[in-house]
């Protein structure tokens, strides 16, 4: 039976040799193929030629700021990206998520945490890509095409980050039902993230800003105080 790591290529972008060795050793031990880049421009070239399944991206690089590189990646690809940030730098973590990172790992981290986070992101990407194809017309204003991964608001295409799309998918598939914080975390981020409720609040806010006419008084994504969130029930055609 194939494992989650089988034939998966991970591009590691970090200019610290010791960190590169540490990451390579632990990922290869678990069956991943590892590609290395120490500079941002080198990472972009390897992303295009090696076609990795996931990128581990350090915030601090010698030629390009890690966040600027993330912006460049998001302009051309939806490949999952995990940011590597310094301990205690909460602003860096939030900024990375806002720019489209799928997750972050705070340095220093253990081999177990590294492999667990990489597998969790890859696992949810696989689950998402195997979803049912359908077009949903929530109302006259909001239309979602799960086949083409397109969201239209007032007839205009709204660009969603991969994690925003996954969150919306699970909310809509359970329209009318309350999803708890734990349920959302396990379905969208993975079982390992049950203790990270701030992820949910952050991404619910992102979705509301993009979908709601008045994000402060949401019509689609409703808060069930102290429990979780519910997507408004609608008539499926």
Terminal C-alpha separation, the chain:
39
User: CA-CA distances (angstroms) from residue 48 to 35, 52, 73?
Assistant: 12, 8, 10
Query: What is the overall mean pLDDT for the chain?
Result: 87
CATH number for the domain including 181?
Answer: 1.10.10.10
CATH code at 26?
3.40.50.2300
- Residue corresponding to tokens 């499926």: 236
Q: Quick one: pLDDT at residue 87?
A: 64
Note the pLDDT of residue 88: 65
Length of the chain equals: 237
Question: Which among 101, 129, 157 is the end of a domain?
Answer: 129
Domain-ending residue, one of 76, 111, 129: 129
Same domain, 80 and 171: no
Same domain, 119 and 208: no
Q: Is residue 3 one of the residues assigned to a domain? A: no
Question: Does residue 237 lie in a domain region?
Answer: no
Is residue 137 within 8 Å of 151, Cβ to Cβ? no
Which band of pLDDT confidence, cut at 50, 70 and 90, is reported for residue 48?
A: confident
At 237, is the pLDDT very low, low, confident or very high (cuts 50, 70, 90)?
low
165 in the same domain as 188: yes
Residue 94 domain-assigned?
Answer: yes
What does pTM read for this prediction? 0.63
Q: 84 phi and psi, to 5 degrees?
A: -105, 115
- pLDDT per residue as tens digits for the range 130-185: 555 478 899 999 999 877 778 999 999 998 888 888 899 889 988 899 999 988 88
Q: Which domain holds residue 216?
A: 135-231
Q: Tally the domains of the chain.
A: 2
Provide the percentage of residues in the chain whose pLDDT is more than 90. Answer: 51
Residue 99 pLDDT grade (very low, low, confident, very high; cuts 50, 70, 90):
confident
């Amino acid at each position: 039976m194939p494992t989650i790591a089988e034939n998966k290529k991970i591009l590691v972008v970090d200019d610290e040799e010791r960190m590169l060795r540490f990451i390579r050793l632990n990922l290869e031990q678990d069956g991943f193929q590892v590609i290395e880049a120490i500079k941002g421009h080198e990472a972009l070239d390897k992303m295009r030629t090696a076609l990795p399944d996931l990128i581990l991206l350090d915030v601090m690089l010698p030629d390009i700021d890690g966040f600027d590189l993330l912006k460049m990646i998001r302009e051309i690809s939806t490949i999952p990206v995990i940011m590597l940030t310094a301990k205690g730098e909460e602003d860096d973590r939030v900024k990375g998520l806002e720019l489209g990172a799928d997750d972050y790992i705070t340095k220093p981290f253990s081999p177990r945490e590294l492999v667990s986070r990489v597998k969790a992101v890859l696992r949810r990407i696989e689950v998402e890509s195997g979803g049912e194809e359908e077009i949903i017309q929530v109302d006259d204003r909001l239309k979602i095409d799960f086949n083409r991964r397109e969201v239209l608001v007032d007839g205009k295409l709204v660009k969603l980050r991969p994690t925003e799309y996954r969150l919306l998918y699970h909310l809509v598939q359970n329209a009318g039902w309350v999803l708890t914080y734990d349920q959302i975390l396990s379905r969208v981020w993975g079982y390992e993230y049950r203790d990270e409720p701030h992820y949910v609040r952050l991404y619910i806010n992102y979705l509301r800003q993009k979908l709601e006419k008045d994000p402060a008084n949401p019509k689609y994504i409703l808060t069930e105080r102290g429990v979780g969130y519910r997507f408004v029930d609608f008539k499926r055609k």
